Amino acid sequence: MKYTTGMLVYSLAFIPVFYCSDLQAHSWEAPVEAARQKNPLESDTLSINTGEEIFIQYCSECHGHNAEGLKSGKTGLAKDTGNLPKRLKSHSDGDFFWKIKNGKGDMPSFKNELTEKQIWHIINYIKNIDK
């Protein structure tokens, strides 16, 4: 098949559309080094239960008691909150840690309210909700 300049220009015109839509779907990512960080806490019963208590106190109002997210009409936020157990399957522990610690937009920063250990407990809890 012979390609013309017009065909090439036409096909290249779609690259920004797909590229930008992918960026919007994943526009909030931790810096690479932060995302690579591993959870230093063992995901044992004590950590999971501690994480659940902290999650209920600090996170459930916006993310629901089961962390499956809530509609914006219920939370008063600009967007629906995400299903955290589902998202944690495709994001690293370090990515979640960084987001909880630093926040963005409607998601507040918890660096002054929670210790790093408490944040890791929350992540262990979320990872074990479906188990």
Domain range list for the chain: 29-127
- Residue 10 has a pLDDT of 46
Cα 92 off chain centre by = 9
- In angstroms, rounded to a whole number, what is the distance separating the alpha carbons of residues 108 and 65? 18
DSSP string, 45-77: HHHHHHHHHHHHHHTHHHH-TTSS---HHHH-S
Q: What is the pLDDT of residue 33?
A: 94
Supply the pLDDT for residue 1: 53
Overall CATH class of domain 29-127 = mainly alpha
pLDDT of residue 28: 79
- pTM, two decimal places: 0.78
Burial grade of 1 (CB within 10 A; 0-12, 13-18, 19 or more): exposed
Our measurement of the distance from residue 83's CA atom to the centroid of its chain's CA atoms, rounded to an integer in Å, reads 9
Q: What is the pLDDT of residue 6?
A: 52
How far is residue 125's CA from residue 45's CA, in Å, rounded to a whole number?
9
Tell me the longest C-alpha to C-alpha distance in the chain. 65
CA distance 103 to 101: 6
- Output the tens digit of pLDDT for each of the chain's 131 residues: 555 555 444 444 444 443 333 333 347 789 999 999 999 999 999 999 999 999 999 999 999 999 999 999 999 999 999 999 999 888 999 999 999 999 999 999 999 999 999 999 999 999 999 76
